[in-house]
Amino acid sequence: MNKFIVKDLMVPLSEYATVQEGSTLFEAVLALEKAQEEFDYEHTPYHHRAILILNKDKRVIGKLSQLGVLRAILPKNELTQQIEDISRFGFSTSLINSLREKYRLEEGILDDIYKKATRMKVEDYMQTPSEGEYVDEMTSIDTAMYQIVIGTHLSLIVTRGDKIVGLLRMSDVFAAVFHAMKSGELTE
Amino acid sequence: MQVLEKLLDRIIQRVNINLRELGFDVTPYVRELIQRRQMFKFYAFYGITPHHPLNFEFTHSNLAGSYFLGRCRVRNSLLYKSDIRGDELKKKGTVLRFQDFEIPIARDEQIDIEDSFLIKTLVHNYSHDPETPEKFFIKDTISMHYANIHGSPSYGCFLGPFSTVDLTTMRDCVIGTFCYIQAGEISHIKIDPGTIWVRSPGNFNFLYRYEKNQLDHYIDFTEGNRPKGLLFDFVEGHKKDFARIFALVNIETPRSVPGSASLDRYAVIKPHTNISENVLVAQRAFLKNAWLGKGANAQENCYIINSRLEGYNVTAHGGKIIEADLGKKVFVGFNSFLRGSPDARLTIGKESIVMPHTIIDISDPLTIPPAHIIWGLITNKKDLETNSMPISEFSKIETKCSMGNMIFEGSGASFVSAFRNRIDHILEANGAFFNGAENKGHAQKNQSISFNTIQPYPMGELKGLYPSIIIQP
């Protein structure tokens, strides 16, 4: 395990789901589906869970996770905002959920979802990577693991000099740790 | 004058640094709010009594029209017509009980105001923060007109007009106009105007929020403007009556005041007012054609006009009662505004609890039955249906309840009990239960009080600044 470096476990950028800046949320979801279908699952059982957003120079400018997609499609209006505000005042999840049930719009979240997704632009919902989300491809996995845990990141963007070359996913690091544990068990 | 400008700049900067995370800039709210000439026009004054430890320290500050009682220290601050009332501070040798802790008080508690700008603000009670039991601090804080800082240490905060923070330590917070907050401890939070929040973690959580368009009619405060609205106009409309009281050196106490009652010389008492035994009337209270039964009180900035309070009534700081009849032991919370009219009187039955910051403003007669709890905005009988409940019913709430703009979670019985205990404590502290020998409170102790005045530099480089003064026994 301690011999691994980031580039051993990373998913190359070419295999990852990416869309151009200006794409719609629907296009991003399609890109994710396509990447999942084409991905080689021989070495890892884990699906891709995010889409990278590239600018016209093919540089990564953001990341849209599955959580980000769900967040994007939640209705946003005065009523939902009021309930979000109320949650700041220390009420229980149960009470906040009962308010959501009471006041939720007659139209559900999934009504008209296709139309909504074709209007939304990815850059409005993507997360811009922070400085702590980049890691050099030659970094040891041990050190990268610290970065993932301390920053609570689901993935790190892997760099080679100025260039972004891939993504180190928490799921792949976890799989490597798991294999190391099992190897240890067999050796003993 | 320049020295006051520098002082204001310094305070603004310090508050802004604390509030930068919330993206809140106090500058447009306070920069031109008080004309500088007003700040050296009024004298400051302090009270001396045998009942409260004496220790005042004023350094590099302006104290225009402000009042001090008890142990107070003010540094690098601007206090404009504020009341710093330290008559409930903890005494050396007592014990502060908090959860399972018993914290001995090693020295007399002190109100410590530093780098702050308080406008017509009341500071009262004692620090409820167990981490700072002997220092009730107000630091890097700006509070606007008729705010109440009640038992609430503050660091890096902005309080809007007519807001109250009660028994709550606050750090880096923006408290909106007409908010009432009692939540133990809050930090890094911006609370919208008209939020009434009473929380005791693990016990109960009460939240009511005024509709903005409705609240604006009563009180509205925007950048670059003075506060406006009916509440502000009402209070400012009585300024002249207070100007006369503050201009006179000696004022005779009306003969009709019983020996066990206390009528502050800085209160305004208009004709046809009755003061019964054990009544407490604090400074800056206004009574006109008011009947105060035994043990009733009127705290700072209270207005009781053409009204009758049967007895043992608590009218908390800033409460206003106009054309109303209140039964025995009715509690009216901070900054409440209860307004009937000669043709449409308001009647509130005995032992009712009017929550802090309640507005009842009616054009038809309205009667609230005894033992009810009342909150929010009520303008007619229909509003009363969603903004009140019999206390016995409220006590039955075990999980949650939502009515109109009110949300409650937790134990209703615990909530009612907390209020009732507090009301009893207030009555006791005010001397409402004095029997001629025992149970003395503020009504009896505040009778033997004398006042001294202090003035700022009238001109020169330090114009407007009060000289550094230490006053000790």
Average pLDDT (A101-118) is 72
pLDDT in tens, B303-334: 999 999 999 999 999 999 999 999 999 999 99
| Among candidates A85, A91, A98 on the partner chain, residue whose Cβ is nearest the Cβ of B205 | A91
Same domain membership, residue A180 and residue A91 = no
CA pair distance B291, B275, nearest whole angstrom: 7
Q: Please check the confidence at residue A139 and state whether its pLDDT lies above 70.
A: yes
Same domain membership, residue A59 and residue A135 = yes
pLDDT in tens, A27-78: 999 999 988 888 766 666 777 788 999 998 888 899 998 899 998 888 888 8
- Residue B292, amino acid: L
State both tokens at B197. Answer: 């929040």
Nearest-Cα distance to chain B for A127, in Å, is 20
Same domain membership, residue A168 and residue A138 = yes
B409 interaction partners in chain A (CB closer than 8 Å): 91-92, 95
For residue B403, the chain A residue with the least C-alpha distance is A99
Same domain membership, residue A129 and residue A63 = yes
| Among candidates B201, B207, B400 on the partner chain, residue whose Cβ is nearest the Cβ of A86 | B207
State both tokens at A55. Answer: 């600018």
Check if the beta carbon of residue B231 is closer than 8 Å to that of residue B162. Answer: yes
Probe site for chain B from A85, A89, A92, A101 (most B CB atoms < 10 A): A89
Chains A and B form CB pairs within 8 A to the count of 24
> Residue A185's Cα: distance from chain center in Å?
32
For residue A86, the chain B residue with the least C-alpha distance is B207
How many contiguous H segments (helices) and E segments (strands) does chain B have?
Answer: 9, 47
Bigger pLDDT: B459 vs A91: A91
For residue B402, the chain A residue with the least C-alpha distance is A99
Contact criterion met (CB < 8 Å) for A90 and B189: no
Same domain membership, residue A59 and residue A13 = yes
Probe site for chain A from B190, B203, B207 (most A CB atoms < 10 A): B207
| Among candidates A89, A92, A102 on the partner chain, residue whose Cβ is nearest the Cβ of B197 | A89
Nearest-Cα distance to chain A for B457, in Å, is 46
B407 interaction partners in chain A (CB closer than 8 Å): 86, 91, 95, 99
State both tokens at A63. Answer: 């990341």
B197 interaction partners in chain A (CB closer than 8 Å): 89
| pLDDT < 50 stretches in chain B | none
Same domain membership, residue A180 and residue A125 = yes
Selection from B287, B332, B333, B293 nearest residue B309 by Cα:
B293
B201 interaction partners in chain A (CB closer than 8 Å): 90
| Within-domain flag for A95 | yes
Phi-psi bin for B224: left (phi > 0), alpha (psi -120 to 50), beta?
left
Contact criterion met (CB < 8 Å) for B400 and A86: no
Instruction: Please determine whether the domains at B2-235+449-471 and B253-445 fall in the same fold group of CATH.
Output: yes
CA pair distance B336, B404, nearest whole angstrom: 19
Nearest-Cα distance to chain B for A88, in Å, is 9
Confidence label for A113 from pLDDT (cuts 50, 70 and 90): confident
Average pLDDT (A153-169) is 91
* Angstrom distances, CA of residue B35 to CA of B15, B38, B65, B237, B241: 20, 6, 14, 19, 21
Name residue B191's beta-bridge partners.
Answer: B175
Torsion B84-B87-B90-B96 (CA) sign: negative
| CATH T-level fold of B253-445 | UDP N-Acetylglucosamine Acyltransferase; domain 1 (2.160.10)
Confidence at residue A186, expressed as pLDDT on a 0 to 100 scale = 61
Nearest-Cα distance to chain A for B238, in Å, is 37
Confidence at residue A48, expressed as pLDDT on a 0 to 100 scale = 78
CA angle B36, B40, B41 (to 5 degrees): 105
| Within-domain flag for A50 | yes
CA pair distance A90, B143, nearest whole angstrom: 25
Domain range annotation of chain B: 2-235+449-471, 253-445
Contact criterion met (CB < 8 Å) for A95 and B189: no
Sequential DSSP letters for B310-377: -SS-EE-TT-EEESEEE-TT-EE-TT-EEE-BTTB-EEE-TT-EE-TT-EEE-SS-EEE-SSEEE-SE
* Angstrom distances, CA of residue B363 to CA of B10, B307, B341, B343, B344: 47, 16, 7, 8, 6
B190 interaction partners in chain A (CB closer than 8 Å): none
Contact criterion met (CB < 8 Å) for B205 and A99: no
Task: Assess: ipTM above 0.90.
Answer: no
For residue A90, the chain B residue with the least C-alpha distance is B205
Same domain membership, residue A182 and residue A133 = yes
Q: Please check the confidence at residue A106 and state whether its pLDDT lies above 60.
A: no
Global confidence as pTM: 0.88
Same domain membership, residue A161 and residue A83 = no
What's the CATH number for B2-235+449-471? Answer: 2.160.10.10
CA pair distance B9, B22, nearest whole angstrom: 20
Confidence label for A119 from pLDDT (cuts 50, 70 and 90): confident
| Within-domain flag for A130 | yes
Same domain membership, residue A143 and residue A98 = no
Contact criterion met (CB < 8 Å) for B207 and A99: no
Contact criterion met (CB < 8 Å) for B189 and A88: yes
Nearest-Cα distance to chain A for B198, in Å, is 10
Residues in B whose CB is inside 8 Å of some CB of A read: 183, 189, 192, 197, 199, 201, 205, 207, 400, 402, 407, 409
Same domain membership, residue A89 and residue A178 = no
Domain containing residue A83: 75-108
Same domain membership, residue A176 and residue A129 = yes
Q: How many structural domains compose chain A?
A: 2
| Within-domain flag for A113 | no
Confidence at residue A43, expressed as pLDDT on a 0 to 100 scale = 64
B211 interaction partners in chain A (CB closer than 8 Å): none
Same domain membership, residue A123 and residue A65 = yes
